[in-house]
Chains A and B, each alone.
Chain A
Amino acid sequence: MRAPDSPTEQPLLELDNLRVNFHTATGIVRAVRGLSFTLGRERLGIVGESGSGKSMTGRAILDLIPHPGEVQADKLVYRGQNLLTMDKGSRRKLRGRHISMVMQDPKFSLNPVKTVGEQIAEAYRVHHKASSREAKERSLTMLEAVQIREPARVYDLYPHEVSGGMGQRVMIAMMLIAEPDILIADEPTSALDVTVQLQVLKILDDLVTSRGMGLIFISHDLHLVQSFCDRVIVMYGGKAMETLPAAELADESARAHRHPYTLGLLDCLPDLDHRKDKLATLKRDPAWLA
């Protein structure tokens, strides 16, 4: 397998006791409540149900929490640089160039009145000095890399003209074109068919193994996370229920050591080999958040 991080190497990202609070008109919503992890040159999965704070964790790292939200942490360090004390301008410069995020809802994040190709080229030119010709060529190569057929045609489509899965790959192309150190991928493949999904994962995988990129892979596809990631954080209600090696996720013999929430999620999945009439649904226990 891959060589583990050498212990002397400094982690890409260290995060301690991250909290994200929304001060809304009707009270405080605590979206993330004390999450800690370190990210090396690895694939770190985050799974958990809707609203468990996965996206907000990613956004907090990038300083992209929307308006009434506020981020607190005991430690938030990117390659030795303390992000908590850094000014907004420098954070913005890191964003996109060094730390990038593929947003969850691609059609929402793309500008609806510009072609997808223009938007990728623009992303490239923000961070690299390049002529528009060159940027266009790079963008076409990138579209091809994410397995889009007929990249030249797709370059000129508007976001509403691409299919769901194409939109996701356009977003991925846009984020990868700047060659970041850390990529936060928020459900990057949920609209892709399984074969294309694997091809896209292969690109991400190569970037981790060859370029040493750190990948945070947010997903609700447990099978995929189990087979793709190195470690997994299982989140519920803004807290980490447990962190475990990904391969152990579906290990039947290890069931006894699993958190009941993790088991609950696993049991919800339909299974090709064991078809049943009714799927199990999740029973939540308030004690998990205590």
Chain B
Amino acid sequence: MNTNPAIIVEKLNVSFGDSHVVKDLSFSVASGESYGIVGESGSGKSTVLRVLAGLNREWGGDVTILGSKQPKVRDKAFYRAVQMVFQDPYGSLHPKKTVDDTLAEPLAIHGIEDAEARIERAMKDVGLPNSFRFRFPHQLSGGQRQRVAIARALVLEPRILLLDEPTSALDVSIQAEVLNLLQALRKERNLTYILVSHDLAVVAHMCERLLVMQFGRGVEEMTAETLAARSPQTAYAQQLLVASEGFRRQTA
């Protein structure tokens, strides 16, 4: 495993109008590592991923990906190295395009020759049988859609995958399948992941280290072992752990 960081974020700041949603955020992710981000809803987790992916163009600070400093507007080559899987598998596939269209599009954009072989391989990688190739999204279940979204991200053979709550819209049985798939792919290809989730058990299962965010700031960075041992330092992280035990009714 290469110890050169794949992603370095330094003093990242993002504002929308008057609201400052990410404040002085810094972290780094080693190549081949899986890094979790958890935290309060609205604390800017998705925003951070969108900045890293180049979807958001108004931010300040330094973002270094695979050794090069990133400008606000990325070039085409960037997208071959970094891809993202969105939170909502129901909204992230074009309703009028078949699985085949969806997977062929990135290859067409980048003028890649062996499209046929790549599409077949991407589908095989995510465990979609060939009979799904010409289906429309409405003919797929949530888990199958998320597989297509993952396949679309993989078809350009990126080195970094940004995963925004990839399983929160899925039921537990499909969640297990998708998580197993992501684990296997990472091992096989030495991919680097950033995984946003609010399920601490999922983060502990998938990641080596994680960052806890609140109000747009990084509150605490810890290892998965610390999390599993329930021994984080900060009060907010403790609170998250307690909350993840489930609902407690104050009995009178």
Footprint of B on A, CB under 8 Å? 1, 48-51, 105, 107-108, 148-150, 153, 161-166, 169, 190-198, 201, 205, 220, 222-224, 226-228, 264-265, 268-273, 275, 277-282
Footprint of A on B, CB under 8 Å? 16, 18-19, 38-43, 46, 87-88, 90-91, 141-143, 165, 168-177, 179-180, 183, 198-202, 204-205, 224, 227-228, 230, 239-240, 243-249, 251
B174 lies within 8 A of A272 (CB): no
Some 26 contacts from A to B, beta carbons below 8 A apart, are: A49-B171, A50-B171, A50-B174, A105-B90, A107-B88, A108-B90, A108-B91, A149-B42, A153-B18, A164-B46, A164-B88, A191-B168, A192-B41, A194-B244, A197-B198, A198-B247, A201-B247, A205-B247, A228-B247, A268-B172, A269-B201, A272-B201, A272-B227, A275-B205, A282-B173, A282-B176
A165 lies within 8 A of B42 (CB): yes
B46 lies within 8 A of A281 (CB): no
Q: Specify which chain A residues have a CB less than 8 angstroms from the CB of B228 in the assembled complex.
A: 272-273, 275
A153 and B227 CA atoms in complex are apart in Å by 34
| Most interface-central of A161, A190, A222 (chain B CB within 10 A) | A190
A164 lies within 8 A of B205 (CB): no
In the complex, given contacts A162-B42, A166-B41, A191-B198, what are 8 additional A-B residue pairs having Cβ atoms less than 8 angstroms apart?
Answer: A164-B41, A169-B41, A195-B243, A197-B198, A198-B248, A205-B247, A228-B246, A269-B172
A268-B247 contact in complex given A166-B41, A196-B40, C-beta closer than 8 Å: no
Closest to A277 in B: B183
B19 lies within 8 A of A164 (CB): no
A281 lies within 8 A of B177 (CB): yes
Which of B91, B141, B247 contacts A224, CB < 8 Å? B247
Q: Specify which chain B residues have a CB less than 8 angstroms from the CB of A265 in the assembled complex.
A: 172-173
Distance between B208 CB and nearest chain A CB, rounded to angstroms: 12
Q: Specify which chain B residues have a CB less than 8 angstroms from the CB of A198 in the assembled complex.
A: 243, 247-248
Which of A196, A272, A277 contacts B41, CB < 8 Å? A196
A226 and B205 CA atoms in complex are apart in Å by 22
B173 lies within 8 A of A264 (CB): yes
B46 lies within 8 A of A163 (CB): yes
Which of A49, A193, A275 contacts B174, CB < 8 Å? A49
A50 and B41 CA atoms in complex are apart in Å by 24
Q: Specify which chain B residues have a CB less than 8 angstroms from the CB of A205 in the assembled complex.
A: 247, 249
A163 and B50 CA atoms in complex are apart in Å by 12
Q: Specify which chain B residues have a CB less than 8 angstroms from the CB of A272 in the assembled complex.
A: 200-201, 204, 227-228, 230, 244
A109 and B176 CA atoms in complex are apart in Å by 28
Q: Specify which chain A residues have a CB less than 8 angstroms from the CB of B239 in the assembled complex.
A: 195
A269 and B201 CA atoms in complex are apart in Å by 8
Q: Specify which chain B residues have a CB less than 8 angstroms from the CB of A268 in the assembled complex.
A: 172-173, 175-176
Distance between A246 CB and nearest chain B CB, rounded to angstroms: 10
A194-B200 contact in complex given A163-B41, A226-B246, A228-B247, C-beta closer than 8 Å: yes
